[in-house]
Structure 1
Amino acid sequence: MANIADRLDLALRERGLSGAQVAAELTEAGIPITRAYVSQLRTGKQTNPTLQVLRALASCLQVSVGWLVGEESLGAASAAVDDLQSRAAALGAAASGLSDGSLAVLRGVIDLARRAEGLPESPASGPQATPEVSAVPAARTTLAPPVRAAR
Structure 2
Amino acid sequence: MTPQLGRPTPDDEPGFAEKLGYLFEHSRDENGAPYTGKKIAERANDLGYSLSDAYISQLRTGKARTPSFRTVEAIARAFEVSVTYFLANPDEDLERVRQQRDYVEMLATTGTHLSGIDVRSICPDTIDVVIALLKMVKAQAVETQRTPPGEDSGQSPA
Which TM-score applies when normalising by structure 1?
0.45
Structure with max Cα Rg: 2
RCO greater where, 1 or 2, for CA within 8 Å and sep 6 or more? 1
Which TM-score applies when normalising by structure 2?
0.43
